[in-house]
Structure 1
């Protein structure tokens, strides 16, 4: 694996994760619909100075992992067909004050990630990073030789995609905990791990994995 992270969206979450990724040796590519000079300036201010802004086709061609760092409402209404076959990392949550009314969720029994996956089942979708705040990425990242280390759930039924994202999670400073995709809803707001500092054993216990 060439360790290229493609980030769609250069907001607070994207730049926080991009900074950790560049610090841990990943090449980071950004794509954003906003003008490049505007988002590039914001990203530089956040410290992701090694990131490169590219077109969406360039990002998709090069990236080992594509990170959807956009609001859930935007992701759920986007054309996701270009992501077929890609390892797609979904850190989104449904926030009504950001996303507005979403009637499709009213009777939806599963995770928001499952809804994205239903829009394009050919994506190799992995739910992770969403149960942290963007501040936590900066404050809680630790190298692998430091204990205790904060755990991060990595939810997918695609074993290879889950392994790729788990290696990324480890690189950026957290203990990855592999999770079946049917546990992804437990990672969302009001779930048992959202916003809580847990080590790997505590994460497995909270998600009923042990």
Structure 2
């Protein structure tokens, strides 16, 4: 893997782009407003970064991150992501996204909705449960005592491993949560959401998650 595509260049997207460049990856960044609006970020990131349309970022990435408001996932390009690992960082905020009945009824997960949109892709839930600023400030080398941990969920084991390896490279331990259907355990308002847990603490928080929560 040499190139990370990013569909979305907000707080999380920009931070993941910075981490990618810092670790030797090329990054192709996109947003809904057009490549010309990303000049400052590309200039900051340097020669490994470029701006593109979402379609071109999807086509360019060996792995592609979807990091846009949940209400906009119907705009994610489908064909260029076929067969690819797609990292989903989305969270459900009804005040922003509107009410989504299947999420309110616990009949779907945020990542599951993206997987439905991208049936030929391998969606992995990751990076949705950490504050953006922590991505570039709270990582540490492997083996560090109390190293912060992040969870991954996805239906394809090889895709989960690939994303887990990337997370480890970026400075965090990983808890493999298994299937995408269980990714609700790390969604907004669950015990592990944005908590600075090490692996054991995160495992406890994932186990304590419950569907009985406020929407």
Deviation at 1:70, TM superposition (A): 0.8
* Residue 113 (structure 2) pairs with residue 111 (structure 1): no
Deviation at 1:183, TM superposition (A): 2.4
TM-score (norm 1): 0.88
TM-score (norm 2): 0.86
Query: Residue 82 of structure 2 is aligned with which of 84, 91, 99?
Result: 84
Partner secondary structure for residue 184 of structure 1: helix
Aligned positions, number: 205
Aligned equivalent of 1:122: 120
Gaps in structure 1 of 5+ consecutive residues: none
* Residue 72 (structure 2) pairs with residue 74 (structure 1): yes
Deviations 1:123-174 (A, max 9, x none): 2000010011111112211122533210010111201111111111111111
Any residues of structure 2 matched to 1:128-147 within 5 Å, and which? Answer: 128-147=126-145
Query: Residue 167 of structure 2 is aligned with which of 166, 169, 172?
Result: 169
Aligned equivalent of 1:197: 196
Q: Distance in 1 between matches of 2:49 and 2:147?
A: 27
Check whether the contact 2:5–2:63 (CA below 8 A) recurs between aligned residues.
yes
Q: 1:80 to 1:17 in 2, by over 3 A?
A: same
**Aligned alpha-carbon RMSD (Å):** 2.1
